[in-house]
Amino acid sequence: MTITVVGAGYVGLVTAAVFSDLGNKVYCVDVDEKKIEDLKKGKVPFFEPSLSEYLERNIKEKRLFFTKSYSDSVSKSQTIFICVGTPSKENGEADLTYLFSAVEETAKNLSGYTLITIKSTIPIGYEDDLEATVKKHAKAKFEFAASPEFLREGTAIEDTLHPDRIVIGTHSKKAEKILLELHAPISGERITCDMRSAQLVKYGSNALLATKVSFANAISILCEKMETDVTKVMEGIGADKRIGNAFLYPGVGYGGSCLPKDVLAFIAQASRFDYDFELLRAVDAINDLQVERFVNKIRRILNAAEDKKNNLYGFEIAILGLAFKPNTDDMRDAPSIKIINRLLNLKANVTAFDPQSMINAKRILPQISYAKDVYRAIEGKHAMIIVTEWPEFSQIDLSKAKKLLKKPNIVDGRNIFDPHKAKVAGFKYIGVGR
């Protein structure tokens, strides 16, 4: 089948890579000329394990083409996947500017029956506007469908090739058949439904994942007050098969380009349908609180009063991990940004290290220093702060770290160290919920 993928971001590139690798002819179109030129040479604009190998292989096999031109791509395709971003507006609603311009450009270039499948995360209630946009510009027959994406950054290719489920939301058997055939080589349960239900599956899934994280973070607060160990408590809760242990790890709060924005967009959407989604408002509030509590732990370990302004003046702090999670260089909505900005407000001196995201971080946080590795980051500092759980951080040699640090303080935002071992090694240690 010939496919056009609109949008060369995370979802678009992974979709293009996987469908071309499965033998389809795939055009990937994006308005960003520089990005398209780089991609033609196999250069991926972000870090994602094995994605560049997939792109290079399929470009070479002449199954995958990058272009700025909708006319070169859409007119030759039976199926279009819209994969553009839907960022947050100030009021939390999803900004659909890119979506509507992508659909308009697609419409202008349709020829013959085309299935336009939305992979972008879009709120319920815009179906008529989308139809009207296409009708205004196209004479060809078309249909809309929704097939939301559930890939995670860092494991995107694996998640797309072996998903738990493929959700296909259509208005006709014809559209359903096209999408079922296209996904035939991919494993996972099929869930076929109407378009709106498919969109709601996406928002509901991300909202429940965020809820699990905030629940774990709320329990971690109680564990700190009750002097119990959250890792054991969550292990015990998660061992119940009805609950499961995934997404029950407390930390510095969820971040990234999806969970924070989708929670806010879901609250806004619910409110447009006259429902106050109190549960999700609490999930969002707990997530913000987790950052504040973490900064207070840093103040506590440094013996700086938690109620005084500017009271981290003169303290040198090493932040290990900047990306919103390991195995990505993505800094979008990373908790590290909020934490570091808060520390800077308190007049601390911050040096950071991250194995992948420092180039991106320097654009967002130009005021701090960056170190070439973990040990250079912590040298002469008053505290070592773990913000992202990169696997290499759990291999840190604690006796070497103790010699390098000015003060043996660890605040571990991801519980990567054993508190007992850290104490035996001579550290003052504060984790999350234990």
Interaction between residue 251 and ligand UGA (CB under 6 A): yes
Q: What are residue 409's DSSP bridge partners?
A: 428
Interaction between residue 258 and ligand UGA (CB under 6 A): yes
Annotated binding-site residues for substrate read: 150-153, 202, 247-251, 255, 325
Supply the minimum distance, in Å, between the C-beta of residue 139 and ligand UGA: 34
Q: Which residues of 215-234 are buried (b: 16+ CB within 10 A; e: fewer)?
A: bbbbbbbebbeeeeebbebb
Among the residue ranges 38-46, 137-145, 244-252, 395-403, the one whose residues contact ligand UGA (CB under 6 A): 244-252
Interaction between residue 144 and ligand UGA (CB under 6 A): no
Nearer to ligand UGA, 183 or 376 (CB): 183
Q: Which amino acid is at 254?
A: Y
Nearer to ligand UGA, 15 or 114 (CB): 15
Annotated binding-site residues read: 30, 35, 86, 121, 150-153, 202, 247-251, 255, 261, 325, 332
Can you say whether residue 140 is alpha, beta or left, with left for phi > 0 and alpha for psi between -120 and 50 degrees? beta
Q: Which residues of 31-47 are buried (b: 16+ CB within 10 A; e: fewer)?
A: beeebbeebeebebeeb
Q: What is the 3-state secondary structure (H, E, C) of 273-301?
A: CCCCCHHHHHHHHHHHHHHHHHHHHHHHH
Q: What are residue 381's DSSP bridge partners?
A: none
Q: DSSP labels for 332-395?
A: TT-HHHHHHHHHHHTT-EEEEE-SS-HHHHHHH-TTSEE-SSHHHHHTT-SEEEE-S--GGGGG
Among 116, 175, 248, 304, binds ligand UGA (CB under 6 A): 248
Q: Tell me the number of residues near ligand UGA by CB under 6 A.
A: 20
Nearer to ligand UGA, 249 or 370 (CB): 249
Supply the minimum distance, in Å, between the C-beta of residue 388 and ligand UGA: 8
Residues 101-140 that bind ligand UGA (CB under 6 A): 121
Among the residue ranges 35-43, 75-83, 135-143, 144-152, the one whose residues contact ligand UGA (CB under 6 A): 144-152
Supply the minimum distance, in Å, between the C-beta of residue 119 and ligand UGA: 10
- Across 54-148, the runs of DSSP E, i.e. the strands, are 64-67, 79-82, 114-118, 142-146
Q: Which residues of 244-271 are buried (b: 16+ CB within 10 A; e: fewer)?
A: ebebbbbbbbbbbbbbbbbbbbbbbbbe
Q: Quote the tokens at residue 363.
A: 């654009």
Residues 146-165 that bind ligand UGA (CB under 6 A): 149-153
Phi, psi of 372, rounded to the nearest 5 degrees:
-80, -25
- The active-site residue, picked from 28, 83, 223, 258, is 258
Q: Identify whether 83 is a catalytic site residue.
A: no
Nearer to ligand UGA, 325 or 382 (CB): 325
Cα 76 to chain centroid distance, Å, stands at 32
Q: Which amino acid is at 394?
A: S
Q: How many CA atoms lie within 13 A of 433 on its CB side?
A: 27
Among 47, 65, 142, 254, binds ligand UGA (CB under 6 A): 254
Annotated binding-site residues for NAD(+) read: 30, 35, 86, 121, 153, 261, 332
Nearer to ligand UGA, 169 or 251 (CB): 251
Interaction between residue 206 and ligand UGA (CB under 6 A): yes
Nearer to ligand UGA, 126 or 150 (CB): 150
Is the Cβ–Cβ distance between 153 and 325 less than 8 Å?
Answer: yes
Interaction between residue 213 and ligand UGA (CB under 6 A): yes
Among 255, 355, 413, 431, binds ligand UGA (CB under 6 A): 255
Give the x-and-dash track for 321-360 against ligand UGA (CB under 6 A).
Answer: ---xx-----------------------------------
Interaction between residue 100 and ligand UGA (CB under 6 A): no
**Could you tell me the end-to-end alpha-carbon distance of the chain, in angstroms, rounded to an integer?**
54
Residues in contact with 62: Cβ distance below 8 Å, sequence separation at least 6, in sequence order: none
Phi, psi of 319, rounded to the nearest 5 degrees:
-100, 120
Active site residues: 258
Where does this chain bind ligand UGA (CB under 6 A)?
121, 149-153, 206, 209, 213, 247-249, 251, 254-256, 258-259, 324-325
